Structure 1
Amino acid sequence: MTAAPAPDPHRDRPRLSRADRRRAELVTAAYELVVTRGFRTISVDDITAATGVSHGTFYNYFPNKRAILDAVIDHSFLHIRDLLLGPEGDVTPTTMDAFCDRYARVIDRCYDLVATEPGLVNFFLLEASSIDDAVLDRCLHNARAYAAESVARIHEGIAHGYLDPTLDPAIAGEVLLSLLVSALLSALRAGADGLTQPRVRTQLVAFLRTAFGGPGSPTTVGK
């Protein structure tokens, strides 16, 4: 009996048009150049050389080098979201333990991100804010999108009864965003100040359990 073919994970995704594929190739090439060399040191020549297209093709999609940076920032935030939230990013925890375990994994992934893609982290934490105000605004806009997702997680946790019903979801969502930034900064310091990865993970998760937990949630940390 012939085995059934494995399911295609991309089957239900909409097919990109040729123009969309070309634009995506330009953005991906610019992203790779930005995180390896920095935005200021690269040129349109570098981007077109990396994709094998002409300057005319580049200018069909972007009026200048600065314009493609907006698309790179949006692409970067989607990439970071996928890396940090992992395959369970859209799965709703139903207990406080599951909620804390999720964010323990997110904190560990912050360290993985710094270890595997330091150029990406350095760009956002060091270079981006010095380019112009519009870059900072776009970064904040993307960060707010993550915070909005976090607000939804808070509402779900309250509905399941394991998060404190008196929490302000908007403020709690901002706290979850700040937790990511704290973990990334600690990862960049690589424990030089005594804040090792296990210590950071344990303390941040303990904070979440204590600050967010509902009346019936245990306050001890299981890790």
Structure 2
Amino acid sequence: MLELGSPTAYLVRPEARLTGALSTRNCYARIVATARELLIAHPGSSFTVQDIADATGLSRRAVYNHFPNPEALYRATLRDLLGELGDMVEVDLPREAHPEQAIQDFACFATALLSSDINLLIWAAIIRDDGAEDWLAAAYARLVRQPLVRSLEIYLLHRRIRDDLPRLDPERAAEQLVGMIEAASVTPSLLKTGHQSSPAAREAEILFIVASFINAHLAPREAVPSAKVMPLPLGAVAHR
């Protein structure tokens, strides 16, 4: 064992070369990471094997060793992006939070998540590829939409059991709110209507969605939340 301060401890040894399985995993990760960057930087565009080889410094043969064609790499990259997006969905609304505040927090979190570049890229792929990548729509529903609905449903179910919201259907209400947020977050960007909503307009839209939901499901018709809803960054709502 080398003692601290021993001259031998400071000998520079040549860095070990990555070989075998470790080298294979490293190349695979580099290829997928590069494809991710290209897709996010240029949404709606495609890439070639040569693009990936140039960006990674690998040979075309090295890329083809991992992926038989660009389509296989494209699918692997979408799976990687979808997995990352799914990891962000685990949101836990405190059961004791007041319904108005909990709905506002959830709406802000979901809006930030569904407006993210990754989510918009995946949505564009679902729409553009249609049946060619039908697995993507099913995986998106399982990893993103259903967990969002379920997290809100669990909160609403708990409040109903406490008799705060006796007439509420938690599953239907949660699906409705997620659908409203999804439409407001995704549709304008994918339609590319030629105008960008200002932060104030986006804030007003979130407030309108929250107010509509609360008036329909949680409160008397005349009650509208007066609190100002500010968009929150991802992670602002407590994670499990």
Give the partner amino acid of 2:155: E
| 1:111/1:134 CA distance change after superposition, 3 Å | closer
1:42 matched residue in structure 2: 47
1:109 matched residue in structure 2: 112
Q: Which structure 2 segments of 5+ residues have no match?
A: 1-20, 229-240
SS at match of 1:196: helix
Matches of 2:210 and 2:71 in 1, distance apart?
A: 39
Match of 1:191 among 197, 218, 222: 197
SS at match of 1:191: coil
Give the partner amino acid of 1:220: V
* Bigger shift: residues 61-70 or 35-44: 35-44
Matches of 1:152 and 1:20 in 2, distance apart?
A: 35
- Over the aligned positions, Cα root-mean-square deviation in angstroms equals 3.6
Q: Which structure 1 segments of 5+ residues have no match?
A: 1-16
Match of 2:171 among 161, 164, 169: 169
2:133 matched residue in structure 1: 135
Checking the alignment, whether the CA contact within 8 Å between 1:103 and 1:205 is kept in structure 2 is no
* Bigger shift: residues 135-144 or 162-171: 162-171
Q: Output one character per residue of 1:10-31: Cα deviation in whole Å (capped at 9) or x when no partner.
A: xxxxxxx734443232112111
Deviation at 1:134, TM superposition (A): 2.6
1:33 matched residue in structure 2: 38
Match of 1:75 among 73, 77, 80: 80
> How many residues in Structure 1 have an aligned counterpart in Structure 2?
194
2:157 matched residue in structure 1: 158
Matches of 1:35 and 1:205 in 2, distance apart?
A: 30
Deviation at 1:207, TM superposition (A): 2.5
Question: What's the % identity of the aligned pairs?
Answer: 17
Q: Between Structure 1 and Structure 2, whose CA radius of gyration is higher?
A: 2
1:209 matched residue in structure 2: 214
Scaled by the length of structure 1, the TM-score of the pair is: 0.66
